[in-house]
A and B are shown apart, each in its own frame.
Chain A
Amino acid sequence: MAATNADPARGEARQDDRLERTSVFRRILLRPEVGALLGAAALWIYFAIVAGNRGFLSMRGTASYLEVSAQLGILAIAVAMLMISGEFDLSIGSTIGAAGMIIAILSVEYELNLWLAMLVSLAAALAIGFINGVLVRWSRLPSFIITLATLFVIRGLTIALTRLETGRTNVGDVDEAAGYDSAKRIFDSDVAIFGGNFPISIFWWLGLTFVATWVLMRTPFGNWIFGSGGNEQAAHNVGVPVNRVKITLFMTTAAAAWLVAVLQVISTTGADVLRGTQQEFFAIIAVVIGGTLLTGGYGSAIGAAIGALIFGMVRQGIVFAGVDADWFQVFLGGMVLVAVLINRYVRARATRER
């Protein structure tokens, strides 16, 4: 008491200091991806203990779960941006199947250059995203319903048209198409670092996480994404082009689905009409585990990438641990429940008056 009276200025400064520290600590805790990061660390330690001596910690083990994470991560990043803007896309799994089949049919049946086939496929994917976006914005119906409809339409068209064209439901021998070697270097080579070989898809995943984070945090467009999802009417009132933002993001998710299709077609040298089935759910799971709110307005691309990492670690980790892979979906569902409960708690704290 006496000391405070003697030097009030110092007392005040000290108090401010303490407030500042609390606020920085809070700010870190309030980042959407913090929960997922802690979860990923805990899972890694868990698998390191139970499966460390069975290859989980080896370079090959690491590469194996990172590869699973990478393909899902590429999708999840785009889905996260769309979900932050307040929309869903359930049709991405079907888009993966359609985009892959377009590449295979054009390059194998029509003997087009593989690069040209990929370009045509990208244009088709962007068109699907555009149609999804326009339908959602024009009808003002929930995107959940609209893209549930397009999920089945696209999958059905892919199966029906592929069978009409080829009489089968899968197409192989893409590696005989012109341009396959150069495409393989970009989409299916291994990169040697830290004494291990890592699939290049991991670097696509990391690169896109960086780009998406940049867009979300450091561009006006990113601010519009948060605004559109946080309160569409308020964003519209201050001049944010909500329609343009959301349609662009539907096209981005479709483009991400296309990239996953390309990675799969090149690495397996073929396409199947059922590729990508259920990927829309896995992507949403990764995004939600990563701290993005289903209701929009809050989330992060880094969180989605970590969510995908968790997905890959669990999927491969239980194999390394010697647990029957049948149990994977039980773990997955459990993690989703835990993640949404944590998210709800975090949001309540983030918006509490102080």
Chain B
Amino acid sequence: MSEGTPLIEVTNISKSFGNVRALQDVSMAVYAGEVHCLLGDNGAGKSTLIKILSGVHQPDQGEIRIEGRPVRFGSPRDALDAGIATAYQDLAMIPLMSISRNFFLGAEPTKGWGPFRMFDTARADEITRIELNRMGIAVRDTSQPVGTLSGGERQSVAIARAVYFGARILILDEPTAALGVKEAGVVLRYIARAREQGLGVIFITHNVHHAWAIGDRFTLLSHGRSEGTFRKEETSREQVISLMAGGAALEELEHELRHFAPSVADELAEASDGT
């Protein structure tokens, strides 16, 4: 899986906002057919990194390569054209528009010519239905507003859309954050489908169980620096849990708490053991 040229590779990326150094010398690579989990605390630099990958920000230093070729993204459109699709947690869909209108927004299929060139809504409905079925999403009526879908279904439609429009790299920013257990399972299943289809998936999450269930490799960011990338085989669930919980910092906290709140400290210890 992790052989050959990576689909996307960033080397020694740095980015500052004013005098805040958001990212320093971060490197990571994503291969076709893998789910790469990006872990780290709030403010660790995860969102800065994915915004650089999706063309929203430009790095101050460092290089982005797509299949070995260096690229520069001036805008989100450039990144899209390079095959990078980003599904933001809340900006993915327009609730009052129908599923198929959302699916094809900005890339509507047309028929006819000249001033009579029209939006082929029948074909849009048909393709949307087929593509959603392929991802295993059964939608009764593609003309129903996206707002009537559950959060998980919305994320899934966004993923199906990215796959249909030829994305090779899918960036998912906390797609399971606001979801219940069953819903999150649905989304994880579609992430697995996307991986089967040969996409490289960058999966950002705070949930250790979701990360471990689907991730092939894990990159940990901390205070704008990369703490390294781990393959699933080389690590353990416990180690990932400890990494996500903040590792050394958490042990310190546990020690501190033991003085005046022993029961909380026990719980923390249990959590970082992953039991």
Contact = CB atoms under 8 A, between A and B. Distances in A.
Contacts, number: 91
Interface in B30-63: none
B118 A351 contact: no
Residue of B97, B108, B140, B141 with highest tally of chain A CB at under 10 A: B97
A238 interface: yes
B92 interface: yes
A352 B145 CA distance: 9
B105 A298 contact: no
Interface size, B (range):
20 to 34
Interface size, A (range):
20 to 34
A297 B94 contact: yes
A197 interface: no
A184 B147 CA distance: 49
Interface string B136-154: 0000110111011110000
B12 interface: no
Contacts of A224: 105-106
Interface in A313-354: 347, 350-354
A113 B76 CA distance: 51
A347 B80 CA distance: 32
Contact of B110 (A220, A227, A234, A239): A220
B151 to A, nearest CB: 9
Given A19-B140, A23-B140, A220-B119, A227 B145 contact: no
B107 interface: yes
Interface in B48-91: 76-77, 80, 86, 88, 91
Interface string B101-138: 10011111010000001110100000000000000000
A222 B144 CA distance: 17
A235 B119 contact: no
Nearest to A20: B140
Contact of B118 (A219, A236, A238): A219
B95 interface: yes
Contacts of B106: 224, 227, 235, 238-240
B96 interface: yes
User: Chain B interface mostly helix, strand, loop or mixed?
Assistant: loop
Contacts of B244: none
A234 B105 CA distance: 10
A233 interface: yes
B145 A239 contact: no
B13 to A, nearest CB: 22
A209 to B, nearest CB: 17
Interface in A247-303: 293, 297-298
Given A235-B105, A353-B148, A353-B149, A227 B94 contact: yes
Nearest to A234: B91
Contacts of A235: 94, 105-106
Residue of B106, B107, B144 with highest tally of chain A CB at under 10 A: B106
B147 A240 contact: no
B108 A223 contact: yes
A218 interface: yes
Nearest to B151: A353
B93 interface: yes
Nearest to A16: B140
B97 A239 contact: no
A351 B97 contact: no
A19 B121 CA distance: 23
Nearest to A296: B96
29 contacts: A27-B141, A217-B119, A217-B121, A218-B121, A219-B119, A220-B119, A222-B119, A223-B105, A226-B101, A227-B97, A230-B94, A230-B97, A231-B91, A231-B95, A236-B76, A237-B88, A238-B105, A239-B80, A239-B106, A240-B105, A240-B106, A293-B96, A297-B97, A347-B96, A350-B96, A351-B96, A353-B147, A353-B150, A354-B148
Interface of A: 19, 23, 27, 30, 214, 217-220, 222-224, 226-227, 230-231, 233-240, 293, 297-298, 347, 350-354
Interface of B: 76-77, 80, 86, 88, 91-97, 101, 104-108, 110, 117-119, 121, 140-141, 143-145, 147-150
